[in-house]
Amino acid sequence: AIIDEIKNRIGIGLDLTGDLIVHGQSVHKRLLALEAGGNNNPLIDKWINGIPTVIAGGDSLTQGAGASSNSYPKQLSELLGRPVVNVGVGGQTSQQIATRQGGYVNLLTVANNTIPASGGVAVTASTQGPITNQGGNNMPGTLFGVPGKLSATFDGSGNRTSLIFTRDTTGAATVIDPATPFVPDTGDNEFGINVLWYGRNNFWTGRTDFAAAKAEVKAALA
């Protein structure tokens, strides 16, 4: 067994039959229970087998023209005969899309370093910008474990004028550290078949440092 040297607590070990014991439970028995209940428990089955839905992430090349046939996810759904969820947002870079998908961590600093008991609080600094004037607004997620939504406002030129975190329900005011991770709630998207098609907007008109653009796209995919 692996034992805590201070309090002699067993973190992980083998029992007399050779079963692996973690947190006081036999991993072998847990696996048998999962296998036996997989077909009858949608939550467990989702973790073991995933879901058949395709999640299409990207920019306008994915978003298409609404629900028209110009959208490749719509055509893909018809070809595959399975649901394809279109989460494309026009104009976004690979970094912004990866942040909405959950691959990049968006670190937020809020006014007075406090999530108020109710309502919204201004975000004074963020490391990523997943919300743009073309979409991604009212992004659900959690900040320091507090469920809420991240939203933004924009001026007539498409420049962001505010970023706000609004908690879902009233609770105790919570002091948080600067640069606290905002964890997006993507529903069941991570269990689906993810198609990520982006990078076009990293090569904007007038950009000349193509090596840097390529590195951005590869990093976002990773």
* 123-134 pLDDT, tens digit each: 999 999 999 999
Q: Which mean pLDDT values do the consecutive 10-residue runs of the chain (222 residues) have? A: 72 86 80 70 76 95 75 93 95 96 94 98 97 95 95 95 97 95 92 95 96 96 92
Q: Which two tokens stand for residue 52?
A: 């058949």
Enumerate the β-bridge partners of residue 123.
110
> What pLDDT, on a 0 to 100 scale, did the predictor assign at position 99?
96
Return d(Cα 54, Cα 75) in angstroms, integer: 12
> What pLDDT, on a 0 to 100 scale, did the predictor assign at position 7?
64
Total-model pTM? 0.79
Return d(Cα 105, Cα 95) in angstroms, integer: 10
Element (H, E) at 220: helix 210-221
Spatial CA neighbour of 130 closest among 195, 59, 180: 59
pLDDT digits (tens, 9 = 90+) for 5-34: 766 667 788 888 888 888 677 888 888 877
Return d(Cα 117, Cα 169) in angstroms, integer: 9
Return d(Cα 18, Cα 182) in angstroms, integer: 41
